[in-house]
Amino acid sequence: MADSHGPENLPDHTSHSSGRPVPSADLRREPALQRRPARDGEPAPSTTRQSHLTERQLRRFLNDTLDGIIVLDHQGRVLFVNRRVEALTGKLASQLHGTSFGVPPAPGASTEIDIVRAPHDIRTVEMRCVDIIWQGQPAFLASLHDVTAQRFLAESSALLSRSLDTTTILQTSAELATKYLATWCLIQLADETSRPRMTVGAHSDPFRRPILQELQRLSADGPLSAAVHDVIETGIPEVRSGGGEGFSDRLASDPLKRALIHRLGCRSGIVVPLTARGKTLGALILVESEYGRPTSPDDLELAEDFGRRCAMALDNAMLYESSLETVRLHDEFLAMLAHELRNPLTPIVAAAEVLERTGDVSGPATSQIVAIKRSAQHLTRMVDDLLDVSRITRGVIPLRLAATDITQLLQESIDAVQQSMAGASQHMTVNLPDEPAVIRGDATRLSQIFINLLNNAVKYTPTGGDIRVDCSVTPSTVTVSVADNGMGVAPERLQHIFDMVVQADQGLERRAGGLGIGLTLVKRLVEDHDGTVTAESKGLGQGSRFTVTFPALKLDSKLPAPQTSSARSTKRTVPMRP
């Protein structure tokens, strides 16, 4: 069958005896193709010859375009293909001529189609078409734009960005590579001494994966291969498109590894560096077996782009893992510091209590003992909060959950704050429900939540200010709010009020100090009880309100009744005076 894309072999509808190719020309300038009025007595130019020249010029132009061009009849049979279509399909024009390519999309529309050249060699093209007249018959002219690389890189970026785990990213990268770039793949990360740190592989043939796994295991020990070492050291990729003997020697330093590579197949391949932020993390090895297509230098650009995306994802994961390790060490240090601070506080508090009870001191010394005891207890609470934040961050704080009446805990917390914050001269209004406000919680940790919220209100409310505590119950929730008319919170700080070491205004003088972790502890303990906590403030000087909501616990006859206070009032005022 004649070649269907060469101009010399195309059917000639007019007499054209010279057989010479028509020079490429701009159809708008070619004199032979311009229609001009016939002079008096001169015959009109041959429309048939003009159309024939135009078609020959069109075919030559189509052959020179970068996109694939295919002409189909209305049954989807191939009438013409250019050289780019040959490259996309891996077939000659003579093999494609007359075959069915399928009915193209409607003129002006576009669609994506997959061209399967081999089981593991699929090209994705975007197809657009227009109506034309071809050799006097209606036909479709379709352009095939290769979008394989763009789709592959877009999918790679999307998949690699889903994880911050190094092993997951390595495995995902290897599997993507064998889906689009190679028959099998190895990825090696190197440490500072140029020895393997991690090795991950993938193979497109499931029957050969055990062989690759053995190669992967052997590659994890010993020195890097010559190819990987050189690519990491120089940052220059290596491309082998000829026979695989020399390449397998570059990939393996011992006979056992080389034997495994021969069993996997090594027709050609590429080794590209994995470089991010100016540092080479390792190398990506892409190998085509004897069943795959030969690797060409044209594949290098795509492999390098893919390698950069893999390296960026790996670098992000390593930075994340490093930050987690830093946080872990920070938490361990805080825990150790809190323990060391707490050890000397215990005898200080005990000694103050002994002196206070024995009555061996009198006069000014008595007030000093009280001050020592109060300060030591305050410092103990801060150290305990520091320990608890560290435990919660590490996920090691235990919760002893049981049916618990919130109202009793609120009254106990108010009493504790009243004793520890004597001298504030503030007024507290408390509104409690008549019915039990029962949730499933840890009584100790719930008291910690309420004491921290109350201490926060006392701390930021001026002398003579008002604090209000409300508790309400619905069939599904129990809500506690602590409001004050104190200094309030600036709008820009409100959204960060529960962050570690964030305080409303660190520049203002306060009656009591703090580490800025009380509200952080509140938020995490509330969330551990499946609750929520919110902060509201209209701005500086306009007070604030903190609201905690817990799921209500429906009382069951099989559950023990929660402990409740013997006396409950729906409303009372507690003067916070010395």
Burial of 191 from C-beta contacts in 10 A (0-12 / 13-18 / 19+): exposed
Give the C-alpha separation, 289 to 265, whole Å: 4
Task: Tell me the average pLDDT across 286-302.
Answer: 75
CA–chain centroid gap for 176, Å, is: 17
Give the C-alpha separation, 564 to 406, whole Å: 9
Q: pLDDT digits over 159-171, tens only?
A: 999 999 999 999 9
3-state SS of 451-484 is HHHHHHHHHHCCCCCEEEEEEEECCCEEEEEEEE
Structural tokens at position 71:
């002409």
- Please say if the pLDDT value at position 50 is more than 80: no
SS3 category, 407: helix
Q: How confident is the model at residue 3, as a pLDDT?
A: 42
Burial of 206 from C-beta contacts in 10 A (0-12 / 13-18 / 19+): exposed
**Is the whole-model pTM more than 0.75?**
no
Q: pLDDT digits over 372-406, tens only?
A: 877 777 777 777 777 776 666 666 677 888 999 99
Residue among 510, 458, 507, 504 at smallest CA distance from 484:
458
| 42 vs 343, more confident | 343
Give the C-alpha separation, 532 to 477, whole Å: 11
Q: pLDDT digits over 51-96, tens only?
A: 444 666 767 777 777 889 999 988 889 999 998 898 888 889 899 9
Task: Tell me the average pLDDT across 452-476.
Answer: 89
Category of 202 on φ-ψ map: left (φ > 0), alpha (ψ -120 to 50) or beta? beta
Residue 362 has phi, psi (to 5 degrees) of: -150, 170
Q: pLDDT digits over 221-264, tens only?
A: 778 888 999 999 999 998 887 655 678 888 887 889 889 998 99
